[in-house]
Amino acid sequence: ILDFVDSTGCPGPRFWKHGKYPDGQGDMPVVGVSWYEASAYARWVGKRLPSDPEWEKAGSWPVHLASGVLAQRKFPWGDTMDRSRANIWGSGWRNLVPVREFSTGSSVGGIQQLIGNVWEWTTGDFGRGSYPDRRLTLPMPMKSVRGGAFDTYFDNQATCQFRSGENPVARKHNIGFRCALSLCDLADASAELTEATEGPHTESPPEEAAPLQEACV
């Protein structure tokens, strides 16, 4: 984010001072950025914000149970809340933690902190589109946020399936984001590199969710 601010002249996140993040927060998730600012940064690094389905699948990736049944998890680690695996209310922190903490709460694909620490912006429109039969009437357009944060109290708000909505211009202390890269874009970049070094490459990529990476300062 610091490079983005320096290169583009865009304002820094809400809680920065003099164009710099607070001391000791270099490995914390970025907060205090609106949906528009998060989207702009993602484009600047050649990526984008994840969609709601991508975010949910990344966290609740189906796994084979002992019975052989393919099941979608409620949390990245299973179906029971475990506060030792996520930075939510009751975990003992009550504030942001570095993005590498709570590694035992990682998803099947190794994605960290999908649950807790900060809510995360997605591209989804909250209140319409995904659930047309249960359309909400809102006073203003809202964007979807997922995952809960360090101050999330209720367990059902910190599941992979739960989503809430927020004003896209909001710059809050508990909302951040992560960037996504489509597999087709990843495959194109890989093919260009392979072609330059080893000749043509025709192998197709696996059908998986887009890689997700949390943004830190």
Q: What DSSP designation does 157 have?
A: G
pTM of this structure? 0.78
Scanning the structure block, which residue is given the tokens 């590694």? 103
CB 178 within 8 A of CB 213: yes
Domain boundary assignment for the chain: 25-214
pLDDT surpassing 50 at residue 114: yes
Domain 25-214: give its CATH code: 3.90.1580.10
Quote the CA–CA distance of 183 and 202 in Å, as a whole number: 15
Mean pLDDT of 27-51: 93
Q: Which residue has the higher pLDDT, 11 or 210?
A: 11
Name 70's bridge partners. 64
pLDDT tens digit sequence for 166-181: 999 999 999 999 999 8
Quote the CA–CA distance of 55 and 123 in Å, as a whole number: 10
| Share of residues in the chain with pLDDT > 90 (%) | 53
